[in-house]
Structure 1
Amino acid sequence: MKVAARDLVHNVVKEKLARDEVALSMTVRLVRTAEIVTIAKTAGFDTFYIDLEHSTLSIETASQICMTAMNAGVAPFVRLSNLNSDVIARILDGGALGVIAPHVESAEQAKHVVRAAKFPPLGERSHGGVMPHMGFRSFPTSEVGEAVNNATMVVIMIETKEALDAVDEIAAIEGVDLLFIGTNDLCASLGIAGQFEHELVRDAYSKAMAACRKHGKHLGVGGLNAHPKLVAQFVEMGARYVSTGTDISFLVSGATAKAAVMRDL
């Protein structure tokens, strides 16, 4: 039986969003080995993103983790260290199923990310030969481009006042899949640092959700893992991607709780 390229690459996040289900994510900043994939899967996460913006992890390490995740049925994303086209290409060629682009404040910057992340005709990404997404099998270039484009997600972070002002234009761009609000940085940009319950935060989510609905995109919640009630409100509003915390915070939280129990004994 002949195997098609589209049969080999799947993105569980895209599939869940298409069914209007919530996709749960964790962030990888500490663990440098493939064990984090099994931990994420056992814990029940649909996806994780490797944070190259706020860690010392390398592209090589990210690639090894991403390839393991693809085979485990967990969608691997990478938050970019910068928006350079060569960085985006190397990360995606290495096995990521999506990039999360920080520091985007205009539609033009978002278009640049799409051009770098997507193969023609949607973008300008170069074909580099056999890919881990295809199990390193050889397929016609056109077939690979279509399959990988369909599975690859472009996630644009909305984390400044300027990005929020341009949110409708950013959401309108073909190839952008999800707007991901970095609530902590957005609060700082709006002059309300740490005030997650502030009306401006709710207004920001409402504005971003309206843009997503208008243009058929999805909304993500970030930076609110310590505020589950707020997360629930934004999910009720329509957000369907939720970042729940980092491997570092999970380790510290679990270790602290265990130490406290044992000390009480």
Structure 2
Amino acid sequence: MFRKSKILAKIRAGKVARVACFGSPIAMFPALAAHFHYDGIWLDAEHRVWEPREAEAMIGRHHAADIDCLYRACTKEKNSLYRLLEDGAAGLMIPHVGSADEARALVQAMKFPPLGDRGFCGGGRDAGFWVGKADDYTTQANAETFLMVQIETPEALANVDAIAAVPGVDLMFLGPGDMSLRLGCTAAVNDPKMLEVQKQVAAAAKKHGKAWGRPVGSIEDAKVIVDLGAQLVAYGSEFGGLYKHLAECSAQFDALLNETAGVPSELPAGKVY
């Protein structure tokens, strides 16, 4: 029996999927996120380094906790991408997808025929190491694993309608850090430029029956994008949790010792940490 994606189940039911983010090898993180009712975890391998066996083991911990692993890959190379799906990733997030042609190439890598050109194995975790392989394995794999493309540049924004129209693209994920850097605005959900970007992505997603989302730094920010139709919200991370906890502890030390460490207690708004 192919494991069903909790993120896709939420989206198909017209609900909002809850996603946490981490990029550190913290063994307990999938179990904790599942305990707190998250549907999936965005595991970052774009900006953090994961050895292949280390990544495979961490994806396995997601399976043990029955929570989706949304793996942000550091490559667009075909074989490397579908190997992550064989290891059990529920979906792949691909950074810097700027055109419909790039999106189509990713579909070819991640989806089995007739939709794509993914190589067949059947001996991976996704197929139950063959022991639990369903007769319709390839059909279930196409239906229960997802491709999320990141819209992060003005080029991608100009092509967002064409990208959303590509069959096999399941979700679009706005990258506010890179987009704001290139547009000369902030990543905040209510920044006028960013708000227009979000509306444009939302319109393309709605037109083509796709889901979209982005990271946020507060529940108030989450409401803004949910009101715009976002069905995937990334909120909560190991980095943010540790930063905020240590900032609180540092402030308490300052008060106790009558010292000032000069550590900022707040992270920049508009992103998930």
Give the structure-2-normalised TM-score. Answer: 0.87
Q: Which runs of 5+ in 1 are unaligned?
A: 1-6
Q: Matched residue of 2:118: which SS?
A: coil
The one-letter code sitting in structure 2 at the alignment partner of 1:104 is V
What stretches of structure 1 move > 4 A for 4+ residues in a row? 138-142, 193-196, 261-265
Q: Could you say if the C-alpha distance between residues 141 and 19 of structure 1 is closer, same or farther in structure 2, counting changes exceeding 3 Å?
A: closer
Question: How far 1:109 sits from its partner (Å)?
Answer: 0.4
Aligned equivalents of 2:163, 2:229: Cα separation in 1 = 18
1:229-262 deviations in Å (ceiling 9; x for gaps): 3331111111010111431221221232244346
| Equivalent in 67, 71, 75 of residue 68 of structure 2 | 75
Q: Which stretches in structure 2 are left out of the alignment for 5+ residues?
A: 257-273
Structure 2 CA distance for aligned equivalents of residues 78 and 160 of structure 1: 21
3-state SS, counterpart of residue 188 of structure 1: helix
Cα distance, 1:212 vs structure 2: 0.7
Residue 152 of structure 1 pairs with residue 149 of structure 2: no
- Quote the residue 1:256 is aligned against: 247
Cα deviation 1:104-160 (Å, max 9, x = unaligned) = 100000111111011111111101232212322347786110111111010000111
Which one of 13, 21, 29 corresponds to residue 15 of structure 2? 21
Give the CA deviation at 1:45.
1.6
From the superposition, tell whether residues 48 and 88 of structure 1 become closer, same or farther in structure 2 (CA, over 3 Å): same
**1:4 corresponds to which residue?**
none
Alignment of 1:1-265 (within 5 A): 7-30=1-24, 32-138=25-131, 143-194=136-187, 197-222=190-215, 224-225=216-217, 227-261=218-252, 264=255
Task: String of CA shifts for 1:197-247, please: whole Å, max 9, x gaps.
Answer: 32221111111111111110001112x31x543331111111010111431
Query: Aligned partners of 2:133, 2:43: CA distance in 1, in Å?
Result: 30
Structure 2 distance, partners of 1:140, 1:43, is: 30
Q: Distance in 1 between matches of 2:187 and 2:208?
A: 30
Q: What secondary structure is seen at the aligned counterpart in 1 of 2:31?
A: helix
CA RMSD, 1 decimal? 2.0
SS in structure 2 at match of 1:136 = helix
Greater CA drift, 186-195 or 165-174: 186-195
Counterparts of 1:116 and 1:127, CA distance in 2: 11
Q: Is the 2:2–2:126 Cα contact (8 Å) retained in structure 1?
A: yes
1:258 to 1:23, Cα distance in 2 relative to 1, 3 A = farther
Q: Is the 8 A contact 1:187 1:196 kept in 2?
A: no
Using the alignment, how far apart are the partners of 1:141 and 1:33 within structure 2? 32
**Pair 149,190 (structure 1): closer, same or farther in 2 beyond 3 Å:** same
Deviation track 1:24-54 (CA, whole Å, cap 9, x = no partner) reads 1111211x25322112112332110211100
Distance of 2:189 and 2:199 partners within structure 1: 14
Change (3 A) 1:240 1:193: same
Q: Is the 8 A contact 1:49 1:78 kept in 2?
A: yes
Whole-angstrom CA distance in 1 between matches of 2:83 and 2:130:
19
* Maintained 8 Å contact 1:130/1:136: yes
